Structure formats: C-alpha cells, structure tokens
Amino acid sequence: MSIRLEKDWVAAADAVQRLAGNLGVYQLANTQGQILFIGYAGGNSAFGLKGVVRQALEDQADAAWVRWEVNTAYMSRYKELLMIHVHDHGELPPRNAPMALGKLRPSG
Amino acid sequence: MNLQLTEEQELVIAMVRRFVRDEILPLELALDPDAEELAPEDNARLVAMTKEMGLYGLDIPPEFGGPDIDLVTRTLMAVEMAQHRAGLYVPCYGTFGGAGLAQLFEATPEQQEKYLFPTLRGEKRGFFGLSEPSGGSDPARAIQTKAVRDGDDWIINGGKLWISGADKAQYGLVFARTANDKGRDGVTCFIVDTDTPGFSVRRIVHTLRSARYATELSFEDMRVPASNILGELNKGFAIANDRLTKQRIPYAAGCIGVAIKAQEMALEYVPQRETFGAPLSSRQSIQWMLVDNEIDIKQSLWLTLEAAAKAERGEPFRKEAAIAKLVATEAGGRVVDRCMQMFGGLGVAKDLPFERWFREMRIRRIGEGPSEVQRHVIARELLGSSLR
C-alpha cells in the first residue's frame, strides 16, 4: 500500500453518487488542487464515507475534488495522511484543526 | 499463597472500578469506536482526579515520586483499568500516567536529568526500539542494527520495526550490535534523540489495532555520543530481557480485564435475549460458554497474581510470568470470541466493544513474545539453560 493517498480525484458533484457506506479516509481539494481537508468516516458515522463526505462538501462549498480510500484501519490511516501532509507541506491542511501529531519522514 | 485481599487492596480496587464506570465509560460512548485518546479537557480533568486519588504515575518507584503500590495490587488495578472498550491497549486512556521507560531508573544521573525527569514531568516521551524486520521473538540473535565506535561517538546504522510511539517521541532506547558476537553478549542499549540527523520514522505499520499504531524506523549514519549508552557496553540485552519479563504481567492483566468485562456483558444479555420462546440463558450451549469463560478468567487471574506475588517477593518469576502471559492472552481471546457468539450479529458490530477487543486480543498472542516463545521460555526453565 502506498503511504500517500494516490486514488484518482473525483469531481465533488459526482463523488457522493459513487461513494458507499464504507469506513475509510478522504481528502477534499479546491479547483487548484490544493488539499483543503483530510477526514475519515469512523465507526460512529451513520452512513460511512457517503454520509461524512456529503456533509463535508456541504460545509466546504469551495471543495471541488474528492478522493477516498476504503479502510477499516481508518484511524491510523487518517493520522498517517495528516503526518505526510505536514511532511510535504510543512503544515496541516487549512481546514483541519490543530492537533498533536507524530513526525514521519517517509523515504519516497 | 494467601488468596484473601487486604482491606487496603479492596479499597483501591473499588476506587479504580468506580473511576472506570463513572468517568471512563460515559465518555467512551461519544468517542469513535477506535479512539485512543480523550479530548484534552477531559484528559486534564481525569488526570487531576487520579492525582487526587494518589494513584497517578503508578509504575514510578516511590523514590522518584510514584505511589508505593505492591505488584499484586498493581496487577489487580490493571485488571480493573482494562474494563472498557479501549482498555486493552489504552487503559483509562492513560489518565493514571505512565512511568516512561523503566530502564531509565537505572540510568546515570546525567541521563536521568536529561531524559527521565522530563519524562516524569510529562515534557518528553520515549520509545523502546528492540524488534527489527529480521525478527522480534529472538531479539538477541535477530538484531542487525550496528553501532561502530568513532572517537567519543558511536555511528548507528540499521532499522527497527513494530515500534510504538516513536513518531511522537523526543528520544528512544535503541538496541544495536556493538560486537561481532552473534548472541546476546554483543548488544548495547543507546539513548537516541529523535532529532539526531539520520533518524527517521519511515512509515506507520497498519495492523488490526487501528488506534495505537506501530512504526518503522531507519538509522543512517546516526551519531550518538558514548555518554548515551544506557548501562554497560555489550550488556544491553539484559536491559531488554528484564523489561520483557516484567512486562508480561501487566500484559496478561489487561487481557483478563477485558475478558471480565466481556463476560459481565454476556451475563447481563443472555437472560434478556429470547430465541424460540425462551431466554438464551436457558440453553445449555450458552451456559457452557459462560462456564468456560469463567474457568478461563479464573485460571488466568490466579496464574497472573502468582507471577506478580513472586516478583513482589523478589523471587525468580520468569517461568510464572511466561505462563501468565501465555494463558491470559489465549484465554482472553477465547472469552471474547465466545461472547461475540452469544451476542450474534451485535457481537460483530461496532456498536459494541467486542469487535475491537477481538482484533486487539489477537495481537496479544503475538506481542511481547508469541505463545510459542512463552512455551520455549517455560521449557527452558524446566529443562535448564542448555535448551537453546
């Protein structure tokens, strides 16, 4: 499994149709491709990724693209994606609240 | 062995039990089923409570400011503290504090000043870096990470796998081969700052345990001063081995706590749940599952308390600790599995804690030395050290 989330981006307008109720992680990006937010659909989510991403898109109207990964280890994967984002960009995505994270230095 | 708890033990156990049921369980209802931490404000409030109870920093020796609690009581507390969803790997979400790395209590005064005391004050975190991709069950022979002397420093090259907490740590204990001897007499323990050039946390290792992940580390020409050797040169394996033996007792206790909670939930559920016009509790198949659970729990508990009592008396307890770890981890898995079966579909849903316990309990038969290694340790104790 790649450390980075390398799934194809899907237009926000199409994403909710294609999503199902699985657990997993997702990223939202704006029209310039900047990642705005990294989130997860956990065990308490009523409709998994479908419900969580739908709500996230309603809350963040400037999100144009979505990509996701179905993953039952959503918690460790979510933290990994945040740490990789900090490694690559020096900070969290702009819509993610500050949180205590570990430090990753991936080789690739 | 005296099987009667003292009045003081009864009081402490009751206090911890109330804490879990009144403080932890209600908060847990609102957390993600795989959560490993509380909200910062809840954590601060509960830490203040455990300090008020005089139970914070349970594993810190009294001379370093920890509460003076004997190992049997400590084991009974560990059983209680595990009785919630996250309890196997994050008992009470860490609100009773940790000791950091117990090996540092034997460190030099300078090392204690730099690493131990900041850890006890909650300013620094450490990790324990023993296992490698070449194997974790026989670390003395599997360690391939090498340290080579260069003036007053050592240059370390290699890597570690399955290391918890390294991504959030400011330092760690890294075991490296410092002599060509292939056995245990050629391993040294170094205290390594994680901002040392050449130190990298390369990736998270995703496992059945989603919340508290492991990491993979790499060391490339990592320069560590000789003053950061913990203990003696080439005698590091004794430090590791001592930790592995002691750790088996609380490791077993956590499994027993979860098993007790699972059994308690099943005992509450089966008289209420009806099938074919009668409660589940009237079915012999269900009764026997409950009976087998009870036997598994009692066996594990007494064997673990025996190990703790021997350790407390300062007697050799390697065999007893291995038996406790072996029996409790395997029994815990069976108990959770039977309880899932009694709950049917609900048992595998994330609504209830069984599925998390099932996943995490499976790791317990491998972590801290798999069942096969525990059997090997016991056999070696029975047959003598000639058995390799």
- Same domain assignment for residues B153 and B247: no
- The DSSP code for B318 is H
Please give the average per-residue pLDDT across A82-104, as a whole number: 94
Give residue B210's pLDDT.
78
In a domain, B119, yes or no: no
- Same domain assignment for residues B249 and B377: yes
Decide if B368 is catalytic.
yes
CA distance B46 to B95: 6
- Same domain assignment for residues B208 and B341: no
Residue B311: which residues within 8 A CB-CB, separation 6 or more?
A: B71, B246, B249, B317, B320, B321
CA distance A94 to A89: 11
- The DSSP code for A60 is -
What are B132's strand-pairing partners? B135
**Which of A107, A63, A76, A62 has the alpha carbon at shortest distance from B37?**
A76
% of chain A residues with pLDDT over 90 = 87
CA distance B207 to A71: 11
- Same domain assignment for residues B296 and B159: no
Give residue B182's pLDDT.
63
Last residue of a domain, one of B185, B212, B230: B230
Measured between beta carbons, which residues in chain A are less than 8 angstroms from residue B202? 104-107
Contact B192, B200 (CB under 8 A): no
Q: What is the pLDDT of residues A29-44, one digit of tens each?
A: 999 999 999 999 999 9
Give residue B230's pLDDT.
95
Q: What is the pLDDT of residues A51-77, one digit of tens each?
A: 999 999 999 999 999 999 999 999 999
Measured between beta carbons, which residues in chain B are less than 8 angstroms from residue A106? 202-203
CA distance B383 to B388: 10
In this model, does residue A9 exceed pLDDT 90?
yes
In a domain, B291, yes or no: yes
Q: Smallest Cβ distance to B203: which of A42, A75, A104?
A: A104
| Strand, helix or coil for residue A83 | helix
ipTM of the complex: 0.78
**Nearest residue in A to B356, CA atom:** A43
- Same domain assignment for residues B251 and B374: yes
Q: Which domain holds residue B266?
A: 238-383
In a domain, B112, yes or no: no
Instruction: Write the CATH number for B285.
Output: 1.20.140.10
Give residue B101's pLDDT.
79
Residue B239: which residues within 8 A CB-CB, separation 6 or more?
A: B103, B106, B173, B189, B230, B231
Domain A10-89 listed as CATH 3.40.1440: yes
Cβ-based neighbour number of residue B263 at 10 Å: 21
Binary contact (B215, A43; C-beta < 8 A):
no
The contact set of A with B (CB < 8 A) is: 1, 3, 42-44, 72-77, 79-80, 83, 100-107
CA distance B9 to B32: 33
- Same domain assignment for residues B43 and B149: no
Contact B103, B239 (CB under 8 A): yes
Query: How do the domains of chain A map onto residue ranges?
Result: 10-89
Last residue of a domain, one of B44, B71, B103: B103
Last residue of a domain, one of B230, B262, B288: B230
| Strand, helix or coil for residue B225 | strand
**pLDDT < 50 positions in chain B:** none
- Residue B380's Cβ-count burial label (10 Å; 0-12, 13-18, 19+) is middle
Residue B56: which residues within 8 A CB-CB, separation 6 or more?
A: B47, B50, B67, B96, B97
Q: Minimal Cα–Cα distance from B201 to chain A, Å? A: 5
In a domain, B1, yes or no: no
Give residue A52's pLDDT.
96
Measured between beta carbons, which residues in chain B are less than 8 angstroms from residue A82? none
CA distance B75 to B307: 10
Q: Smallest Cβ distance to A103: which of B35, B201, B213?
A: B201
- Same domain assignment for residues B198 and B291: no
CA distance A79 to A84: 9
In a domain, B111, yes or no: no
Cα distances (angstroms) measured from residue B259 to each of A106, B78, B283, B319, B369: 38, 13, 21, 23, 20
**Nearest residue in B to A4, CA atom:** B203
CA distance B176 to B196: 16
Task: Output b/e per residue, B202-236; b: 16+ Cβ within 10 A.
Answer: bbbbbbebbbbbbbbbbbeebebeeebbbeebbbb
**Which of B164, B31, B46 has the alpha carbon at shortest distance from B86?**
B31
In a domain, B255, yes or no: yes
Instruction: Write the CATH number for B182.
Output: 2.40.110.10
Can you say whether the dihedral through the CA atoms of B377, B369, B253, B334 is positive or negative? Answer: negative
CA distance B332 to A97: 38
Binary contact (B167, A106; C-beta < 8 A):
no
In a domain, B117, yes or no: no
| Residue of B274, B368, B372, B381 marked active site | B368
CA distance B26 to B80: 16
CA distance A49 to A16: 9
CA distance A77 to B111: 35
B44 touches chain A (CB under 8 A): no
CA distance B181 to B184: 8
The total of structural domains in chain B comes to 3
